[in-house]
A and B are shown apart, each in its own frame.
Chain A
Amino acid sequence: MANERLRILEDVEKDIAVVLQCAGNIVLELSKDKHNASFLDRQLVQFQTSISRVENELGAQIRYLTQVATGQPHEGSTYSTRKDCQMSLNRAEYAKVKLGELGRTCEAMLEQQQQI
């Protein structure tokens, strides 16, 4: 859900860039002696679409935040589960180390017996 909202804001940023791009293209086309009317129309439609999308999306985000925001900081954390998981991984690592020692001890004994 959080990623979705942030992704929407990323799209809004792209739309703002499109607005400026379209405005620049329209002015550039108007500066020529002969204008391409269809190009102008397309750019204008895109300009209007993008700017209305920017306004609507940002307004919606601000309305959502007005409903959801409190004055308090969030005090949740994943510390306890992260700690438990880390302890579990440490147990596994310790078991691995001990098994390694056991294996080396057994191999050393076997080599000793073979030499004898």
Chain B
Amino acid sequence: MANQRVLPQSKETLLQNYNKRLKDDIKSIMDNFTEIVKTAKIEDETQVSRPTQAEQDHYEMHVRAANIVRAGESLMKLVSDLKQFLILNDFPSVNDAISQQNQQLRALQDECDKKLTSLRDEIAVDLYELEEEYYSSSYSQWSSTDLPLCEAYRRRDSWASPDSSSSSTQDDREEADRTPSQEANAQHHVNGHGTTATEKP
């Protein structure tokens, strides 16, 4: 609790310091400039001789000009500090920036996933044909436990309609026995993440 009370006070002190610096620098610029303009006025009566007065005025103007430049540089430093403070502590704008960035990233992710999904849909048909061709050729070395995509779809269709073919009722029973593992393997293979026994020639 003591720490929590300290931090806001330091922020408040910092901001009061910024205010003070702003007012001091503006006052310094205005006062020094006004004095330079006043000093520029040539007076007829002087307390010292003219050359001495001129030399004094010259030196004074140098000092005041240097003060104006110093105050200007101090103002630039103040602006830099304010920028830093703003970036770190302006929560509304930080929240806005974060939500905007999140929105852009989500939009990009959605677009990417949408394109991948459409690509998957397009390729699924071609892949089906390719697999059918490949696994029916002499090059394939797949085992009975690892179904290719075309075979998996064929068997799934036959499971979906058991009355459609009566010629393989025994096969169906065997298939029904193997259904959980085969379907799991088929699903595993269909998803494309399974390790297959097929090797490329």
B105 surroundings in chain A (CB, below 8 A): 78, 81-82, 84-85
The 9 A-B residue pairs with the shortest CB-CB distance, nearest first, are A71-B7, A2-B93, A71-B8, A69-B89, A81-B105, A85-B105, A88-B112, A88-B109, A85-B109
CB contact under 8 A between A62 and B15, given known A9-B82, A51-B30, A76-B98: yes
Chain A residue nearest to B97 in the complex (CB): A2
Task: Identify whether the interface residues of A are mostly helix, strand, loop, or mixed.
Answer: helix
Flag if B76 contacts A66 (CB, 8 Å).
no
- A13 proximal to B (CB < 8 A): yes
Flag if A76 contacts B94 (CB, 8 Å).
yes
- B63 proximal to A (CB < 8 A): no
- B101 proximal to A (CB < 8 A): yes
Chain B residue nearest to A112 in the complex (CB): B201
- 15 intermolecular pairs with C-beta atoms under 8 Å apart: A2-B97, A5-B86, A12-B79, A19-B29, A27-B40, A30-B37, A47-B33, A64-B90, A65-B82, A69-B90, A70-B89, A76-B95, A84-B105, A92-B112, A106-B130
Residues of A within 8 A of B (CB): 1-2, 5-6, 9, 12-13, 16-17, 19-20, 23, 26-27, 30-31, 47, 51, 54-55, 58-59, 61-62, 64-66, 68-74, 76-78, 81-82, 84-85, 88-89, 91-92, 95, 99, 102, 105-106
A20 surroundings in chain B (CB, below 8 A): 68-69, 72
Contacts between the two chains (Cβ within 8 Å), count: 141
A78 to B130, CA, bound (A): 42
Interface residues of B in 5-60 (CB under 8 A from A): 6-8, 10-12, 15, 18-19, 22, 26, 29-30, 33, 36-37, 40
Chain A residue nearest to B90 in the complex (CB): A68
Indicate which residue in B15, B22, B106 contacts A69 across the interface (CB closer than 8 Å): B15
A65 to B19, CA, bound (A): 11
Flag if A66 contacts B12 (CB, 8 Å).
yes
- B78 proximal to A (CB < 8 A): yes
Q: Chain B's nearest CB lies how many Å from the CB of A81?
A: 4
Flag if B102 contacts A70 (CB, 8 Å).
no
- B83 proximal to A (CB < 8 A): yes
A73 surroundings in chain B (CB, below 8 A): 88
Indicate which residue in B22, B69, B106, B119 contacts A81 across the interface (CB closer than 8 Å): B106
Q: Chain B's nearest CB lies how many Å from the CB of A34?
A: 14
- B152 proximal to A (CB < 8 A): no
